[in-house]
Amino acid sequence: MAAVTRGGWEFYGRGERVRGCRNFLLLAKASSTGFAAAAAPLRSLLSPINWNGTEILRRRQLEMSLNLLQNGTLDEVKKIVSILNEAEVPPEDVVEVVVSPPFVFLPLVKSLLRSDFSVAAQNCWVRRGGAFTGEISAEMLINSNIPWVIVGHSERRLLLNESNEFVGDKVAYALLQGLKVIACVGETLEQRESGSTMNVVAAQTKAIADRVSHWENIVLAYEPVWAIGTGKVATPAQAQEARSVNGANCEEQAAQPDVDGFLVGGASLKPEFIDIIKSATVKKK
């Protein structure tokens, strides 16, 4: 996954500085002709998207988002937080770390986690609260001082049938309420093997772009569904297009010119996740 701009990071539009996408994971670095860092077919598919004149440049720090998924008991989550709190990791100007525990542990993790790390929810609903049993609203997260939320994760797209349009609506609503959003896009193994990766990712991205006018609080995370938990790992060369990260390949992946962050799933439950965070230092070498 790659990343781009935030608050004080530089963004350029047509002849003037503008505010643009906070981070782009995979789809990093764009020029006036489209995404320079993405493969040519993807650039051509994304070029019609209205980015409000924004040209995206690489950001200065890496984004490390640790998604604990539906895992962990109270004691296990406390142990993970303890390991994170004691770890010697690069400073905030090198890496931004966001930890995403299950909903029931959000208050606990927020209260225990070191101050230079942030907390994210794993999902939120598409509109204000109401008769939506089991869902969490963006307003609830804001009220609980949770700054980040993950939206459009592959498991919700595939298992809960969340469409591109629905995910786009959720991103837009979360932003409107003041949340920062990690918006996931990515293709399945079947889609990849059929050669439709670029079309799938472009359609998912466009559904968000059609509903969002300001990108400074969005991380667009490319999530190669075919690589998640399968043992399939992209080579460094493939990492410019798609990747799955673990402790063994994190430094090599982070060293790629257009890889600017990782959304870590299963590996966040293992000691190797500290090595993944530390891999951010390769950008400073």
Query: What does the pLDDT look like over 2-51, one tens digit per residue?
Result: 333 333 222 222 222 223 444 434 333 222 222 223 333 444 455 545 44
Q: Where are the beta strands (DSSP E) in the chain?
A: 23-25, 30-31, 34-35, 62-67, 95-100, 118-121, 148-151, 180-185, 218-222, 261-264
271 falls within a domain: yes
Amino acid at 60: R
55 located within any domain: yes
Is residue 153 annotated as a catalytic residue, yes or no? yes
DSSP 183-217: EEE---HHHHHTT-HHHHHHHHHHHHHTT-S--TT
In the chain, what percentage of residues exceed pLDDT 70? Answer: 56
The pLDDT score that the predictor gives to residue 152 is: 94
**Neighbouring-strand partners of residue 219:** 23, 182
Burial class (CB in 10 A: 0-12, 13-18, 19+), 107: middle
Residue 204 lies in a domain: yes
* pLDDT score, position 247: 59
| 6 located within any domain | no
Range of the domain at 270: 23-280
Lowest mean pLDDT among 13-17, 45-49, 81-85, 99-103: 13-17
pLDDT at 189: 84
* Predicted TM-score of the model (pTM): 0.72
Q: In this predicted model, what pLDDT tens digit does every residue of 253-269 receive, in sequence order?
A: 666 665 666 666 555 55
- Into how many domains does the chain fold? 1
Residue 114 in domain: yes
Q: Determine contact, residues 168/176, Cβ cutoff 8 Å.
A: no
The pLDDT score that the predictor gives to residue 11 is: 26
Q: What is the pLDDT of residue 6?
A: 30
Please tell me which residue, 144 or 63, carries the higher pLDDT value: 144
User: CATH no. for residue 117?
Assistant: 3.20.20.70
Amino acid at 254: A
Please give the pLDDT value at position 126.
96
- Relative to beta strand 30-31, strand 180-185 is unpaired
Residue 17 domain-assigned (yes or no): no
Residue type, 281: T
Q: What is the pLDDT of residue 100?
A: 87
> What is the DSSP-derived secondary structure letter of residue 246?
-
Question: Which of 55, 63, 153, 187 does the annotation list as catalytic?
Answer: 153
Distances from the Cα of 210 to the Cα of 123, 140, 204, angstroms: 20, 26, 10
Residue 27 lies in a domain: yes
Strand partners for 184: 221
Does 223 participate in catalysis according to the annotation?
yes
Read off the pLDDT of residues 137-176 as tens digits, 9 standing for 90 and up.
Answer: 999 999 999 999 999 998 899 999 999 999 999 999 999 9
Establish if 285 belongs to a structural domain: no
Alpha carbon distance 194, 27 (integer Å):
21
- At 227 the pLDDT is 65
